[in-house]
Amino acid sequence: MLGFPVGIFVANGLEWYFHKAWLHEYPSKYRNSPFFTHIAHHKRARLNHFNDEGYAESMFKNAEIYNEKTALIGLAGAATIFLPVAPFFTAGLYYGIWNYWKVHAKSHLDPEYAQKRIPWRYDHHMTSNQNANWCVTRPWFDYIMGTRITAEASETETNPLGMKLPIWLEKPVNSAARRLLKKSYSKIEQNSKKDQSDLKKGIEEELA
Ligand SMILES: [Zn+2]
Ligand SMILES: [Zn+2]
């Protein structure tokens, strides 16, 4: 049973890694790669206040959607090797992959939902530095790796789990996270401050 939350946690790490390495770093070096459609997605979202109507289209009409869906189906297929030995873990991975699709697609059709429910994702697209905030469904690995940049454009989450928690629980969660992830938190604070001042000066980090 414990395998299920572990699978969700690993899926969050995969979100962070694939998004950073394969959807940003790789196409910025190889502009002819199929992953370059993600850079196009960024440009579209940026110009349309986070909206990307492509998410309402069929995957057979829209290359970005086709690439994203086939990559996710491929990942789910690869995850199946764990099924005979760790069924709950595999179920956690499947859930994480499905949830990624659901949350990402919904957010680009409903920017208000994104601002409130997944502010880290809204910031990924809308703040001065689009090479940060790699997580989609929850911001866990952005806190672990120190790659969260908070911005005023969205309603910043009040804890690193990115979940609504009662105050009695949120306080100890926040102080434990700050204690455990001291370096990451100072990086987050520094980068968020820099982002605020860059935004005011109209400086934007090069995307690709
Ligand atoms: Zn991106
Ligand atoms: Zn997006």
- Examine the predicted complex and report whether its ipTM is higher than 0.95: yes
Q: How far apart are CA 97 and CA 75, in angstroms?
A: 8
What is the per-residue pLDDT across 56-87, written as a single tens digit (0 to 9) for each? Answer: 998 888 888 898 999 999 999 999 999 999 99
Q: Distance from the CA of 184 to the center of ligand 2, in angstroms?
A: 24
Q: Distance from the CA of 125 to the center of ligand 2, in angstroms?
A: 7
What is the per-residue pLDDT across 140-156, written as a single tens digit (0 to 9) for each? Answer: 999 999 999 999 989 99
Contact 123, 116 (CB under 8 A): no
Task: Indicate the average pLDDT of the chain.
Answer: 94
Q: How far apart are CA 77 and CA 167, in angstroms?
A: 40
User: Residue 64: CB partners within 8 Å, gap ≥ 6?
Assistant: 37, 38, 40, 41, 54
Percent of the chain with pLDDT over 70: 100
Q: How far apart are CA 67 and CA 177, in angstroms?
A: 35
